Amino acid sequence: MTSGNTSPSARGAGLDAAARLVGDRWSLRLIGALLDGERTFGELAGDVAGIAPTILAARLRSLQGAGLLTASPYELRPVRMRYALTAPGRRLAAAIATLAEWGAAREGTAQTVVHSRCGTPVVTRPWCPTCEEPVEETGRGSDELLWC
């Protein structure tokens, strides 16, 4: 593990790896559809408007092969599966939710996510697990963060 800021080349390598796994719009949308819990093939087809059944099947197999979701049978004849995110898939889902929030805000269609217990709008921000504190802005620019 390195200390200090992450180098641009290290971030680039990480982004390249992520893009290889989920770099197409269908994979991102499927993981987003699974944020609220497990879904069947038919439910996913309805949740992800415009996806062809062949593409849906291929993306589900690919995401399952990458270890981001599981498929468990809920009917044996014919075999029908229920899909759910794995722990790595749930971790990716948090990043996708943040990306979706950013995209909606840029388009002016932002929907505020609120904490179910208290109703306060949820804020996504970088967190340092070593220091156990949020990572703050550098002060050099409103969108610039100091990454540890």
**pLDDT tens, residue by residue, 60-106:** 999 999 999 999 999 999 989 999 999 999 888 778 877 877 787 88
Question: pTM for the complete prediction?
Answer: 0.69
Give residue-wise pLDDT tens across range 125-143: 777 878 888 777 655 554 5
Q: What is the mean pLDDT of residues 32-57?
A: 93
- What amino acid occupies position 21? L
DSSP bridge partners of 82: 40, 72
Looking at residue 6, its pLDDT comes to 65
The residue ranking higher by pLDDT, 10 or 43, is: 43
CA distance 97 to 87: 15
Question: Is residue 145's pLDDT more than 60?
Answer: no
Least Cα distance to 47 among 66, 128, 39 occurs for 39
Phi, psi of 121 (to 5 degrees): -60, 135
Q: What is the mean pLDDT of residues 7-28?
A: 79
CA distance 115 to 122: 6
CA distance 100 to 45: 19
Phi, psi of 40 (to 5 degrees): -90, 170
Measured torsion, CA atoms of residues 22, 92, 87, 34, in degrees rounded to the nearest 10: -80
Give the distance from CA 147 to its chain's centroid: 20
Looking at residue 71, its pLDDT comes to 96
Least Cα distance to 41 among 25, 66, 67, 63 occurs for 63
